[in-house]
């Protein structure tokens, strides 16, 4: 039984396989969750359980290697968008203390002849762990498919054509990230594994982490613990979708806190998929989201320009 506590939960199979009334109920529930707290738990998301398990195991293997090996896969001035990013390098935009994590990122890979083929940086594949590379590709594609269904439901909720997002996410600039929070061995500078932040992209799909620690803080409320039990995934709205909808859908602050002292010896692995559109997607606020009660909050910008701005703020781009 898959359950997620702390946030509302929806069943994606109702939308993908259900009849019209089940689809409508799904759209309603998803829209409510995203306008209120910006986070939702999703069960029956269509991402194969075995694939998730395999990628978790391969990620553990990757991070367990000597730093000397991992360092080979770090691109020192590549804005951290592919390959390995070493411990402490990324920090939240308001903080100058690095997060207590290391991670590895895979990006979009397109077939020969695709118009965006040469636009993206090549992925960095490890020599030691061919299965890490292979499962990353498979999981990337499974996340893209599941994310496309969710965006279709969001488009319906926003009163747009249900295929509104399709041309923007086909060949999009999404990132699959495997994060490792190592065991804590000495009194940490802060009680936080990953400082509070909002995600940059359209939506994030997060595979149930290997340990507790994720907390979200809806506007005007206290921190809420989000726990994924079983095989549900956590989905949240990112800043690009919040911006496009003129704050109708909420990109909610979240963080990962350290475990209690008696669990310091434990590590934590989590697998977020940051669903990004193509760089040329226009993020100008949707007309229907600008009203007398909700006046325009943002200037027009493209997804590419916005990403650039944000990567500088978090120390990944100079
Ligand atoms: O590790 C987690 O559970 C969340 C990570 C996260 O919020 C992020 O990488 O943006
Ligand atoms: Fe995040």
The region of weakest confidence among 46-55, 85-94, 205-214, 215-224 is 85-94
Among 75, 187, 67, 154, smallest CA distance to 121 is for 75
168 with 277: CB under 8 angstroms?
yes
Averaged confidence pLDDT in the chain: 91
Residue 170 domain flag: yes
pLDDT given for residue 36 in this prediction:
95
Task: Say if residue 200's pLDDT is above 90.
Answer: yes
CA dist 48 → 34, 53, 207, 277, 311 (Å): 25, 9, 11, 24, 31
Mean per-residue pLDDT, 203-216? 86
- φ, ψ at 23 (rounded to 5°): -60, -45
Q: Which ligand is nearest to the CA of 197?
A: 2
Using the Cα atoms of residue 110, residue 48, residue 212 and residue 58 in order, give the sign of their dihedral.
Answer: negative
pLDDT tens-digit series, residues 296-315 = 999 999 999 999 998 888 76
Residue 130 domain flag: yes
Which residues lie below 8 Å from residue 267, measured CB to CB, with a gap of 6+?
Answer: 180, 181, 182, 183, 210, 211
pLDDT given for residue 292 in this prediction:
96
Model confidence band, residue 1 (pLDDT cutoffs 50, 70, 90): very low
Write the burial class of residue 237 (CB in 10 Å: 0-12 exposed, 13-18 middle, 19+ buried).
buried
pLDDT given for residue 88 in this prediction:
75
Pocket test for ligand 1, best of 256, 268, 314 (most atoms within 8 A of CB): 256
* Enclosing domain of residue 88: 3-313
pLDDT given for residue 270 in this prediction:
93
Residue 243 domain flag: yes
Q: Where are the alpha helices (DSSP H) in 108-158?
A: 130-157
pLDDT tens-digit series, residues 143-186 = 999 999 999 999 999 999 999 999 999 999 999 999 999 998 88
Residue nearest to atom 10 of ligand 1 (CA): 199
Q: What is the pTM of this model?
A: 0.95
Q: How does strand 39-43 pair with strand 9-11?
A: parallel
Task: Say if residue 194's pLDDT is above 70.
Answer: yes
Ligand 1 centroid to residue 15 C-alpha, Å: 26
Model confidence band, residue 42 (pLDDT cutoffs 50, 70, 90): very high
Residue 220 domain flag: yes
User: Is residue 209 in contact with ligand 1, taking CB distance under 6 Å?
Assistant: yes
Mean per-residue pLDDT, 15-28? 98
pLDDT given for residue 14 in this prediction:
97
Q: Which residue has the tokens 């940086």?
A: 121
Task: Say if residue 108's pLDDT is above 50.
Answer: yes
User: Is residue 136 in contact with ligand 1, taking CB distance under 6 Å?
Assistant: no
237 with 157: CB under 8 angstroms?
no
Residue 115 domain flag: yes
End-to-end CA distance of the chain: 45
Of the two residues 229 and 205, the one the predictor is more confident about is 205
Mean per-residue pLDDT, 104-117? 94
Residue 135 domain flag: yes
pLDDT given for residue 165 in this prediction:
98
CATH number at residue 259: 2.60.120.330
**From CA 27, how far away is CA 149, in angstroms rounded?**
11
Ligand 1 centroid to residue 255 C-alpha, Å: 7
Ligand 2 centroid to residue 95 C-alpha, Å: 15
Query: What is the arrangement of strands in the sheet containing 83-85, beginning at the earlier edge strand?
Result: 9-11, 39-43, 233-237, 203-207, 268-275, 175-181, 102-106, 83-85
Task: Say if residue 64's pLDDT is above 60.
Answer: yes
CA dist 294 → 50, 218, 289, 290 (Å): 44, 19, 7, 6
Residue 318 domain flag: no
Please report which helix (H) or strand (E) contains residue 70, including its range: helix 67-71
Estimate the share of the chain in helix, then strand, then coil, as percent rounded to the nearest 5: 30, 20, 50
What are the strands, taking DSSP E only, across the chain? Answer: 3-5, 9-11, 39-43, 83-85, 102-106, 175-181, 192-197, 203-207, 214-217, 224-225, 227-229, 233-237, 253-257, 268-275
Task: Say if residue 189's pLDDT is above 80.
Answer: no
**From CA 22, how far away is CA 191, in angstroms rounded?**
43
pLDDT given for residue 312 in this prediction:
82
Ligand 1 centroid to residue 209 C-alpha, Å: 9
- Domain total of the chain: 1
Residue 30 domain flag: yes
């Amino acid at each position: 039984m898959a359950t997620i506590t702390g946030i509302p939960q929806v069943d994606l199979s109702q939308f993908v396989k259900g009849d019209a009334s089940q689809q409508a109920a799904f759209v309603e529930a998803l829209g409510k969750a995203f306008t209120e707290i910006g986070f939702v738990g999703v069960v029956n998301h269509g991402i194969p359980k075995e694939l998730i398990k395999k990628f978790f195991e391969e990620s553990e293997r990757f991070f367990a290697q000597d730093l000397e090996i991992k360092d080979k896969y770090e691109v020192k001035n590549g804005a951290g968008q592919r390959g390995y990013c070493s411990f402490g390098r990324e920090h939240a935009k308001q903080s100058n203390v690095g997060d207590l994590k290391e991670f590895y990122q895979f990006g979009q890979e397109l077939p020969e002849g695709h118009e965006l083929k040469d636009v993206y940086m090549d992925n960095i594949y490890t020599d030691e762990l061919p299965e890490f590379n292979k499962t990353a590709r498979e999981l990337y594609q499974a996340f893209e498919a599941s994310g496309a269904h969710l965006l279709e439901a969001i488009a319906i909720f926003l009163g747009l054509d249900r295929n509104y997002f399709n041309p923007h996410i086909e060949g999009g600039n999404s990132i699959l990230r495997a994060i490792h929070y190592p065991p804590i061995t000495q009194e940490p500078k802060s009680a936080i594994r990953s400082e509070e932040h909002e995600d940059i992209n359209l939506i994030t799909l997060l595979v149930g982490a290997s340990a507790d620690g994720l907390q979200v803080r809806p506007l005007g409320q206290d921190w809420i613990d989000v726990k994924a039990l079983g095989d549900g995934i956590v989905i949240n709205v990112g800043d690009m979708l919040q911006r496009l909808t003129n704050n109708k859908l909420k990109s909610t602050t979240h963080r990962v806190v350290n475990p209690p002292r008696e669990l310091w010896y434990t590590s934590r692995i989590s697998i977020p998929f940051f669903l990004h559109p193509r760089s040329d997607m226009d993020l100008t606020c949707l007309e229907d989201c600008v009203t007398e009660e909700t006046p325009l909050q943002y200037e027009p910008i493209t997804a590419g320009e916005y990403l650039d701005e944000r990567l500088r703020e978090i120390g990944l781009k100079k």
